[in-house]
Structure formats: structure tokens, C-alpha cells
Amino acid sequence: MKNLTLNRYFLRLYLISFFSTLTAVFALIYLVDMVELSRRGRTDDLGFLGAASFSALRVPGFMEQAFPFIILFASIFTLLNLNRRLELVVARSAGVSIWQILMPFMAGSLLLGLAATFVYNPLAAWTKAQAESIETSLFGGSSSRSGEEVWLRQNAEGVRSILGGATVAAGGTELGKVSAFLFGDDGSIVQRIDADRAVLQNGQWVLSQPRVTRIGYPPSYPRQFVLPTTLKPEYIEQRGTDPEATSVFALPREIEVAGSLGLNAMAFDMQYQTLLARPALFLAMTLVAATVGTRFSRTQQAGRAIALGVLAGFTLYVVTFLAKALGSNDIVPPVMAAWFPVLAAGSLGVTILLHQEDG
């Protein structure tokens, strides 16, 4: 009963620290994004309330990248505060081991990791999709799949063309910032069409208010330009979908569809494994925080402890980022790339804590 009361107390302090840090980071990212939107002139186009709503749709996606550090800081701050108030010293003198002290922290991190993967991630993916759809329809969008434009080669109804778009939206039926090149029988470019938006309708691309350029003629500006195609929305969506903007529940289907279309599914598989490993990553961050947070006593070493914890957590984050890049490019199997850094960091944290406990 005493341990249960102590665990509930530690867990409550940890969750309070986590949500306080989460709120502060959310507000900071939201403020920075609003400043960036204002710099790009989006507040003039949308108005202040529209820009504020648009930024609110973008921030959840950014927050996913900050989650590991939020866990790290929340764990360090909670442990340091307990040490400063000598509560950890009292607990240790009462016969409570370091593992019993850390149990509510580890349980809380696992639960938060599960919630981040299976509850928060679908919400963040949905808000990011809504933001991209708004940006595509109003501004032509930002580039898809981490800065890479999507280029599609087509040959339909005797018309050979290459169509490129900066964004893919609406399940592969809309492209933003479109450029199309039409080829003649000899393979040379005979026509170029530029438009802010193209919509796939009944086996053809409809480019709205395009700029049509032909060699030897001045540009023309028709109301729309129709370009035949045999491409399916599923293929187009796969080519332009950002794995990080895909819900954890939709990733298995994306992997299956990519395989059936003969596309490389490693980026989707890597993202899926990364999301599955997120609870373990949160746990590893907590163990890393414990290696510095539980050592602090009444000396003025809080700054040093925080710096060491941040350095260790940042190192783990960089390693996982590099491993993700290797897994996405089929250099390392995605399962190994997602899980090995997390398990290695967790094992190192356990080893250090065992040394501190026995030493």
C-alpha cells in the first residue's frame, strides 16, 4: 500500500511536469509558426484568425518531433525537484530501490508513448493533411515528401507528357504548383503548361487557369487545359505521400499498396517501425534522464545535470534520426534501424543505473 501511494505520487508529479512542458513547447512552436506565416505574407491572405487556425493545424505535426525531448525534460525536472526536496533521499533511506522509484516514471512513459503512437499520431496526421489541403488550394502548396517534387510520365490517347507537382492532395486527385511538358513524335518538347492546380477527373488532368507556352508563339492563358492520363489516384498518392503525414493505422495499407505498384515502400515501413518503437524510445529517454537526475543531491549541480541529460538525449535523437535515414533508403532493414538505437540506449541507461545502485 505504501509503495502504491508513493508510485501514484511520483506518477502524478511526472505527468504534471510532462503536460506543463508540453504546453510550453506547444505555445513556443505555435508562436514561431505564426511569425513564419506572417513573414511569408499568409496573414494578409487569410486574415489573423484564418492564419491562427491554419497554424493550429500545422503545429501538431511539429510537436511529434519534439515529444522525445519533452519526455526527457519532464523526467529530468521531476527527478531534480524530488532530489532538491530530499524526497528521493527519504525514499532510499526507507529501503525503496532506484527501480521502485523509477517504476512510475517508466510506466508513465510507456503509457504516454502508446498514446502518442495510437491516439496523437492519427490526429496529427489528419491535421497535417488538412493544412496541406488548404495550402494546396489557396497557395499552391509546399513541396511534398520532404521537399521532393512529384514527376509523372504519361502516355494516353497518343499524347506523351511529363507532369510535375509540388504537392499531392485529396487522395492523389489534386496536384499543386503544376508544370506539364508535352512531347512531339520526335521526342522534343512542343508545349509547356504551368498552373497553380490540377485535378484528376474521369481519366484526365484538368489544369485551371494555366499558362500555355509553345515554341515560337506568345504565351496563352485559357480558362483550363485538359491533359489525358491513364494514371490511377493510388499510384499518384503513393508517389507524393509523405510517410510522416500518414497515420499509423494507414501505414500498413500504404506499404501493401506501394509493394503492389512496384514502388519502394521502405520509407513507409521505416515510419511504421519508428512509430511502433516510440513507447520504447520514451522509456529510453526516461532511463537516460534517470542516469543524471537521480545523482543530483543538495549541491548546486542542477545546471550540469540538465546539460548532461540534454546532451545524452540529443545524441540518442541524432542516432535515431540517422538510423531512420538509413532505413528509409534501404541501407539498413527498417526493423533494425528503428529498434536498435532505442534498445541500445535503454540498455546503456540500465547499465549506468545498475552501476550507480551497486557503486
Dihedral class, residue 47 (left if φ above 0, else alpha if ψ from -120 to 50, else beta): left
pLDDT at 146: 47
Low-confidence ranges of the chain (pLDDT < 70): 1-2, 41-45, 136-148, 170-171, 238-240, 260-263, 296-302, 305, 358-359
pLDDT at 94: 82
pLDDT in tens, 342-356: 998 888 888 888 887
pLDDT at 284: 92
- Where are the domains positioned within the chain? 2-140+266-358, 150-240
pLDDT in tens, 62-118: 999 899 999 999 999 999 888 888 888 888 888 888 888 899 999 999 999 999 999
Task: Give the containing element (helix H, strand E) for 235.
Answer: helix 233-240
CA distance 34 to 36: 5
Query: 254: buried, middle or exposed (CB in 10 Å: 19+, 13-18, 0-12)?
Result: buried
pLDDT at 181: 93
CA distance 285 to 348: 11
Cell of 313: 538525449
pLDDT at 141: 52
pLDDT at 235: 77
Q: How many CB atoms lie within 10 A of CB 340?
A: 17
Rg (CA), the chain: 26
Task: Give the containing element (helix H, strand E) for 212.
Answer: strand 211-214
Q: What is the DSSP letter of 120?
A: I
Query: 302: buried, middle or exposed (CB in 10 Å: 19+, 13-18, 0-12)?
Result: middle
pLDDT at 19: 96
φ/ψ of 160, rounded to 5, equals: -100, 130
CA distance 3 to 214: 79
